[in-house]
Amino acid sequence: MFKSILYNVTLVTSLFLFTSMCFASDFDNYLQAIENGSNEERVVARQMLKREGIRAVPPLIELLQHEDQLVWRNARNILADIVNMVAAAPIDEDMAKVIENYTKSRNVKNHHRRSFEALPQEVKERVEVTDSLMALVLDENTPSHAVIEGLRLLGVIAPADYGLVGLIDLLEKPEYSGEVYSAVKMIGTSTELPLSMLVYYSFVTRRIELVEDYILKGGNWDTGINLYLDGLLLSNAQHHAPSIVGLARFGDATVIPAIMDAVKKNPELEAPALMGLNDMQGLESYEALLAAYPETSQEMQLGLLGVFGRAQHELFLPLLLENVGSDDVGRQTAAFNALVQSDLPGGVDAIVQYVANRPEDDRKFEVMDLLAYADRLHDKGAKAAAGKAYLGLYRSASHPDDKDIAFQGIKRYPSPEAYDLILADLDLEKLDEVSSETLIALNVMINKESNPEAYAKIREALYGIIKETSNVQSVLNMAAKQGASDQFLSMLGFVQDWYLIGPFPWSSAEGFTANPVGAPVVDLKASFSVDGEPRTWKKVRTGQIVNLMGLMGAESNVSSYAYATVMSPAEMDAQVRVGSDDGVQVWLNGESVHENNVDRGMALDQDIVNVKLKKGENKLLLQVSQGGGGWGFMCRLTQPDSSPLSSNN
C-alpha cells in the first residue's frame, strides 16, 4: 500500500470576491430552495444558480454532502452544469506545464504560483474548481455518495496535467476504485497514467507508457501482451501491478488464466487486476471470467461481482442473483450493488426484495439506488421491470418526495400488484388533472367488469383528449410505449382489417375515371391481369398506417384499392377521416362520398367526410393513387364530434 500523500487544498475564495455581490439575498434564497423548497422552486433555483458560475461551487459542494438524496441530486445537477461550462476553457502546452508545476508544488515555490496567477482567468477557474472537488473527495468525512459524484465531476473538469497522486489512496477502497479509474481515464492525464496509478516510480511508469503506446499504435498486440506477461514474471514486484492492469485492459480471454494465477500467488494484485478487468469486453472474455470465478479467493469474488455488474451483460445475471440470495451479508451487498449497476431488467425482483429486507431506518442509500435503477429502466424502455422497480420504491421509501416519484412511475407502468394502490389514490372526479400518459396506463390496467364506474370515467376522460386530431398521434405514441397500440387504434376508430388489390396503371390526368375492378361493387374472389401478371385481393391486418409501398413495392403512376367492412351499433351520422399519399377516392355502401386527386404526403385526418352509417355492416372502399415516392394511407371512422363510434370500443 502506498504511503498517503498529503494533499493540502484550501478552497479558494479570492476568486469569488471578484464576482458581483448584487442579489445576494436571491442567491441565498436559491440555495435554500435546493435544500427545502418545493419542486417548482427547485427547478427555478437550478436554472438561476448555474448562472452564478463558480461562485456557487462551495455552497453546492456542501449541499452535495446532504443526507437527503433529493437535495444532493439537485446540487449535483447544478454542479455538473457549472463544471461543463468551466471545463470548456482551452489549455495549451505552456499552460499545461504551469498547471503541472503548480499542482505538484502548490505554495512551496513562489515562482510557480506567480506563473499560475498569470494564466487566463478562465483557466484558473478550471483549476480552482478542480481543487474544490479534490478537497471534497479526499476528505475522509465526505459521505460516500458525494465522493463518487465528486470523482465523476473531476473526470470532466480536471486538466490533463493536474496532479492526481492524491487519489491513489482511494484506489484501496473497493467502493471507489472503479470511479477513480474512470475519472483518470477521462482526464487522460500525462502525469499519472491510468495504468500506473498504483505504481508510479519513474522506471515502471516509463515501461508501462512504452507498452501502452506500442499496443495503441496498432499491429503490435501480440508483442505488447507478451511484454505484460513478462512483467508478471520479473522478480521486481514494481512491474507486477501495471503489467496485470495492462493485461486486463488490452487482453482477451486467453490472458485471464495468467491474471488469475498471478492474483492467486500475490493477493495484493487483486485491486489492479479488478481495475483492468473493468475494461474487458466480449462474450469469450465474459465466459472465461465466469469459468475462473469459482477458483478465486472470496475477496476476489466480491470484486468480480462488481466487474460483472458493470459489464451489463445477461450472462452474469444468474450468478449475481445467486449471490444476492446468499446468507453471506458481504456477498448480498456486493451482488446488490452489482445488480443495480448492471441495469438488467431481470434483476428487478432481487433488487426490490433486497431493499425491502433492509431495516427501515437503515436503507436510505439502498432506496436511492433503487430509484436510480428504476429511472434507468424507464430510460431503456423496460416497461414491466420499471413498473416493478417503482412499486418496490413506493413500498420501501419513507420520504414523501420519493413516494411521489415512485407513484408517478407506477401509474406510467402499472402492474397487477399496483392495481389497488392506484385505484385507492384515484379521484374519479378530477381526471381532468391527470396526464394523458397516466390515463392511458389506467385504461390499460382497469378491468371493465370488475370496476365499471372507474372504467367509464377514465374512458370519458380519454374521449375528451382524443377529440382533437392534434392529440391523437401523441396518445398513440404513449399507448405504444405501454404495449397497448391495438387497443387504442380500435378506440380511435382506425380501420385495420383490409382487403387490398393492385397496383393498376393510373395517371393524374385521368384521375379516378378508370375503374379496373368494377368499383363500387367488388368481388373479393375476382382476379385481374396487368401486363400478364395476376392481381387478386389479399387480406391484411395493419396498424395506424397502411404502407402500400411495403405491401406492393415501389411503383409510379399506379393506384390500388382497399376494401373493409365497418360495423355500426345503429344508424348514425359519422365521419370518414382519411390521410393519403397521394390522392384518394372513397365509396361507402356503394356510393362515392369523396374524391381528391392530389399529389401530397400523408398526414392524419387530411380529408374529413361526413357520412351516414347504417346499422350493422357498412362497406367501405378506397382507391389510393401513386405518382411517385411514398405511397400509403390511413383511415378511421368517428362520430361527427370526432369521438369513437361506440363507447364499447
Which range, of 302-306, 478-482, 611-615, averages the lowest pLDDT?
Answer: 478-482
Q: What is the pLDDT of residue 349?
A: 94
Beta strands in 211-309 (DSSP E): none
Q: What is the pLDDT of residue 591?
A: 95
Higher pLDDT among residues 409 and 292, named by residue: 292
Q: What is the pLDDT of residue 610?
A: 96
Which range, of 8-12, 309-313, 639-643, averages the lowest pLDDT?
Answer: 8-12
Is 172 a residue whose pLDDT tops 90? Answer: no
Instruction: Give bridge partners of residue 497 from the DSSP assignment.
Output: 541
Confidence at 244, pLDDT banded by 50, 70, 90: confident
Cell of 93: 502546452
Q: What is the pLDDT of residue 64?
A: 93
DSSP 12: P
Q: What is the pLDDT of residue 485?
A: 74
Nearest residue to 180 via CA among 196, 197, 163, 204: 197
HSE-CB for 454 with a 13 A CA cutoff? 20
Give CA–CA dist 158/153, Å, rounded: 8
Tens digits of per-residue pLDDT, 569-602?
899 999 999 999 999 999 999 999 999 999 999 9
Give CA–CA dist 214/216, Å, rounded: 6
What percent of the chain clears pLDDT 70, i.e. is strictly above it? 82
Confidence at 409, pLDDT banded by 50, 70, 90: confident
Neighbours of 359 (CB within 10 A): 6
Q: What is the pLDDT of residue 13?
A: 28
Is 311 a residue whose pLDDT tops 80? Answer: yes
Q: What is the CATH number of domain 493-638?
A: 2.60.120.260
In the chain, which segments carry CATH 2.60.120.260?
A: 493-638
Is 193 a residue whose pLDDT tops 50? Answer: no
Q: Which residues contact 50 (CB under 8 A, 6 or more apart)?
A: 56, 78, 81, 82, 85
Q: What is the pLDDT of residue 305?
A: 94
* Amino acid type, 641: D
Give CA–CA dist 635/406, Å, rounded: 39
Q: What is the pLDDT of residue 463?
A: 78
Which range, of 220-224, 434-438, 578-582, 593-597, averages the lowest pLDDT?
Answer: 434-438
Question: Greatest CA separation found in the chain?
Answer: 98
Q: What is the pLDDT of residue 262?
A: 86
Confidence at 212, pLDDT banded by 50, 70, 90: low
Q: Which residues contact 42 (CB under 8 A, 6 or more apart)?
A: 33, 34, 74
Q: Which residues contact 90 (CB under 8 A, 6 or more apart)?
A: none
Give CA–CA dist 192/149, Å, rounded: 21
Confidence at 286, pLDDT banded by 50, 70, 90: very high
Q: Is the CB of residue 324 less than 8 Å from the CB of residue 335?
A: yes
Higher pLDDT among residues 282 and 5, named by residue: 282
Q: Which residues contact 603 (CB under 8 A, 6 or more apart)?
A: 579
Tens digits of per-residue pLDDT, 474-528?
778 777 766 777 778 888 889 999 999 999 999 999 889 989 999 999 999 999 9
Q: What is the mean pLDDT of the chain?
A: 81
Q: Which of 164-173, 212-221, 427-436, 497-506 has the highest mean pLDDT?
A: 497-506
pTM above 0.85, yes or no: no
Give CA–CA dist 393/295, Å, rounded: 36
* Amino acid type, 140: E
Which range, of 154-163, 268-277, 333-342, averages the lowest pLDDT?
Answer: 154-163
Q: What is the pLDDT of residue 425?
A: 67
